[in-house]
Amino acid sequence: MRSRYSAYVLGLAHYLLETWHPDTRPALIEPDPPGLRWLGLSVRQTRLRDPDHATVEFVARCKLGSRAQRLHEISRFEKVSGQWRYLDGDIVGATADPPTDP
């Protein structure tokens, strides 16, 4: 999760696509809106469901213009060929519409 957050901060769409599960991976990732600043990531909980499935609950904070936003999500990850891949996630309680997927 931390590496994917860092990829969002750095605008590394290729890394995000590489770490996305092939069953749910989008064809491309739109760039962040101009002026979006990522402010931090808090991993609240991780759970290993079995050796190949896990969840990560996190809160990512960002700011666009003068508007601060939080993305609170429980993400599902699955191992594919021995590597963890982001499968999908459920929004828990964002204070505003999230700017992008994690």
CATH number at residue 30: 3.10.450.50
Q: In this structure, is residue 63 part of a structural domain?
A: yes
Per-residue pLDDT, 52: 98
Q: In this structure, is residue 48 part of a structural domain?
A: yes
pTM for the whole thing? Answer: 0.85
pLDDT tens for residues 31-88? 999 999 999 999 999 999 999 999 999 999 999 999 999 999 999 999 999 999 999 9
Structurally, how many domains does the chain consist of?
Answer: 1
Q: Distance between CA atoms of 85 and 15, rounded to whole angstroms? A: 11
State the residue range of the domain holding 16: 2-91
Q: In this structure, is residue 38 part of a structural domain?
A: yes
Q: In this structure, is residue 100 part of a structural domain?
A: no
pLDDT tens for residues 40-51? 999 999 999 999
Q: Which has the closest alpha carbon to 45: 59, 32, 33?
A: 59
Per-residue pLDDT, 20: 98
**Beta strands at 36-50 and 53-64: parallel, antiparallel or unpaired:** antiparallel
